[in-house]
C-alpha cells in the first residue's frame, strides 16, 4: 500500500467573497468578479476490478428523473453526436458521458459494486418512479455489438423522506438517497438482502442508507448531509421550531459519528460516501470557501468528529481522494448557470476507517473525482470514486 499523509486544514481562511446568510453550506451560490477560472483536470483511467477489490462510486445527481427519460436533450450535445458515439465499436470508447443513462454510467465506470446516489428527489409514495429506477439498473442497454462482455445486474435501494415537518416541499420530492448494489457482491453473505440494507431511526429526511457486508466486516454509508442555513428546523415529533438548519447539521454530524462508532467498536470498517456539504480546506473551494460564523462552526465540528485523530472522540477517518492526491485541485460541485470553473467546491467525499488501512488489512488503491463538464450530466455535481483492496481470502475465489 502506498504511504500517504493528511495535513489538517488551517483553522482560519480569508474569504474572497461574503457568504449569503442562508446559502448552502460551503457551496458558492453566485458568480464572482474574479477573471480566473478553477482548473479542470482530466479523469484518471478507471481500472478493471480485481476479485479482492471493492469500488464505491458516489454522485449527487440532483434528481433522478433525467435518468429515466431517454429522450431528454436539454442538457446535452446534438443527437447526431450521441448516435455516432453509441454506434461506435466497443473497442473505441465507453458510452458517451452526455447520455443520462444509469446503465451507461455503470458501464463507463467499469461496473462498480456499490454506487451511492444522493438527492434523488423521489416521494416515498411514488411507487411508479421507484419501479422505473429498479428497472433502469437491471435492464441491459440495447447493445448492437454482441461481442461485448455480459453486463451485471444491479438492485436499487432507497431511503426517502418521511419527515412531515422538515421535508414537505415539492410534494415530498426532496432529498433522498439510493444505493445501487451489483448482484454478485453479496453472494457469500448468509443474510437476506433486506437484512443488509438499513435506514437509521435518527434521520427521517432520507439522508442515510447503510449497506452491511459481513464477510468483509465493512459498512458502506450512503450520505446526503444537511445543508447549513438559517431556515428553521422543526422537532420531528411536535413540529415546534427547535433551531436552525445549521443546528440540525451539527446534530446530524453527532448522530452519524455515533452510527459509525457503533460499527468500529465491533471491529468493522466504515466507508462514508456522499455529499457531505463540507469543503474541508482552502484547496477545496474556488475562489474561496464560506467563512461565516455558522459555516466555520460546522466545518470545525465536522473535522473534530470525523477527521481528528488525537482529539477525544474523533474517528480519524481517511479522506480517500486527498490521501492519494494531497495537493491536487479537483472539485465535485460545479454549479449550473455560470461559466465552468468560475465557482466550485469539493464537498462530496469518500471517507474510510483508518484502522484497517494502517494495519495492512485494507489498502486504498484508487480515488478520483470525474471533474469534467460532460460527467456532470444533468446534475450540479460530478461523480467520484474510491477503490479498496482487501487481503486475499477464500471469498475472493471465482464463483
Lowest mean pLDDT among 66-75, 298-307, 342-351, 375-384: 66-75
Q: What contacts 24+ positions apart, CB below 8 Å, involve 109-112?
A: 109/46, 109/55, 109/57, 109/383, 109/385, 110/46, 110/47, 110/48, 110/49, 110/55, 111/49, 111/151, 111/152, 111/182, 112/49, 112/55, 112/56, 112/57, 112/182, 112/385
Rounded Cα distance between 351 and 156, Å, is 22
pTM of the model: 0.85
pLDDT in tens, 108-131: 999 999 999 999 999 999 999 999
Mean per-residue pLDDT, 235-239: 93
pLDDT of residue 5: 39
Three-state secondary structure call for residue 216: helix
Confidence band, pLDDT 50/70/90 cuts, at residue 79: very low
Rounded Cα distance between 18 and 150, Å, is 52
pLDDT of residue 150: 78
Residue 48 has pLDDT above 90, yes or no: yes
Cell numbers standing for residue 23: 446559502
Helices 293-302, 245-264: crossing angle, 10 deg rounding: 0
Tallying the residues shown for the chain, one arrives at 399
Task: Give bridge partners of residue 25 from the DSSP assignment.
Answer: none
Cell numbers standing for residue 175: 432529498
Confidence band, pLDDT 50/70/90 cuts, at residue 27: low
pLDDT in tens, 320-364: 999 999 999 999 999 999 999 999 999 999 999 998 777 778 999
Rounded Cα distance between 213 and 218, Å, is 5
Helix and strand numbers, DSSP H then E, in the chain: 9, 17
Rounded Cα distance between 325 and 345, Å, is 16
pLDDT in tens, 143-171: 544 555 678 999 999 999 999 999 988 88
Rounded Cα distance between 12 and 71, Å, is 47
Instruction: Name the residue with higher pLDDT: 20 or 258.
Output: 258
pLDDT of residue 309: 86
Per DSSP, helices labelled H in 109-230 are: 127-138, 193-196
Question: What residues contact residue 176 under an 8 Å CB cut-off, 6+ apart?
Answer: 118, 119, 120, 121, 122, 158, 159, 160, 161, 206, 224
pLDDT of residue 301: 96
Name the one residue in this structure whose C-alpha cell is 442538457. Answer: 75
Residue 82 has pLDDT above 50, yes or no: no
Rounded Cα distance between 298 and 318, Å, is 19
Amino acid at each position: 500500500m502506498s504511504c500517504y499523509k493528511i495535513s489538517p486544514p488551517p483553522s482560519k481562511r480569508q474569504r474572497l467573497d461574503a457568504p449569503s446568510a442562508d446559502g448552502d453550506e460551503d457551496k458558492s451560490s453566485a458568480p464572482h468578479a474574479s477573471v480566473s477560472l478553477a482548473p479542470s483536470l482530466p479523469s484518471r483511467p478507471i481500472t478493471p476490478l480485481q476479485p479482492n477489490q471493492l469500488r464505491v462510486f458516489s454522485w449527487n445527481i440532483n434528481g433522478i428523473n433525467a435518468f429515466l427519460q431517454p429522450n431528454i436533450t436539454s442538457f446535452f450535445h446534438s443527437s447526431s453526436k450521441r448516435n455516432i458515439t453509441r454506434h461506435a465499436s466497443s473497442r473505441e470508447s465507453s458510452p458517451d458521458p452526455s447520455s443520462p443513462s444509469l446503465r451507461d454510467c455503470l458501464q463507463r465506470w467499469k461496473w462498480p459494486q456499490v454506487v451511492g446516489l444522493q438527492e434523488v428527489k423521489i416521494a416515498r409514495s411514488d411507487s411508479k418512479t421507484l419501479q422505473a429506477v429498479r428497472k433502469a439498473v437491471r435492464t441491459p442497454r440495447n447493445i448492437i455489438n454482441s461481442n461485448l462482455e455480459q453486463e451485471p445486474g444491479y438492485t436499487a435501494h432507497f431511503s426517502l423522506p418521511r419527515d412531515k415537518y422538515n421535508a414537505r416541499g415539492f410534494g415530498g420530492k426532496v432529498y433522498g438517497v439510493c444505493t445501487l448494489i451489483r448482484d454478485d457482491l453479496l453472494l457469500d453473505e448468509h443474510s437476506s438482502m433486506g437484512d443488509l440494507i438499513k435506514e437509521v431511526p435518527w434521520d427521517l429526511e432520507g439522508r442515510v442508507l447503510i449497506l452491511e457486508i459481513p464477510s468483509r466486516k465493512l459498512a458502506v454509508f450512503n450520505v446526503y448531509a444537511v445543508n447549513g442555513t438559517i431556515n428553521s428546523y422543526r422537532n420531528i415529533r411536535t413540529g415546534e421550531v427547535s433551531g436552525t438548519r445549521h443546528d440540525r447539521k451539527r446534530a446530524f454530524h453527532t448522530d452519524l459519528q455515533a452510527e459509525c462508532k457503533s460499527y468500529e467498536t465491533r471491529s468493522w470498517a466504515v466507508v462514508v460516501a456522499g455529499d457531505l456539504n463540507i469543503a474541508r480546506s482552502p484547496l477545496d473551494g474556488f475562489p474561496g470557501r464560506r467563512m461565516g460564523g455558522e459555516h466555520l462552526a460546522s466545518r470545525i465540528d465536522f473535522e473534530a468528529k470525523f477527521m481528528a485523530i488525537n482529539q477525544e472522540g474523533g474517528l480519524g477517518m481517511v479522506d480517500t481522494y486527498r490521501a492519494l492526491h494531497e495537493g491536487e485541485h479537483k472539485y465535485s460541485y460545479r454549479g449550473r448557470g455560470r461559466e465552468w470553473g468560475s465557482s466550485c467546491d469539493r464537498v462530496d467525499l469518500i471517507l474510510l476507517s483508518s484502522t484497517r488501512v494502517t494495519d495492512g488489512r485494507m489498502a486504498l488503491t484508487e480515488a478520483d473525482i470525474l471533474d469534467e463538464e460532460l460527467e456532470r450530466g444533468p446534475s450540479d455535481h460530478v461523480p467520484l470514486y474510491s477503490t479498496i483492496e482487501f487481503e486475499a481470502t477464500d471469498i475472493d475465489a471465482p464463483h
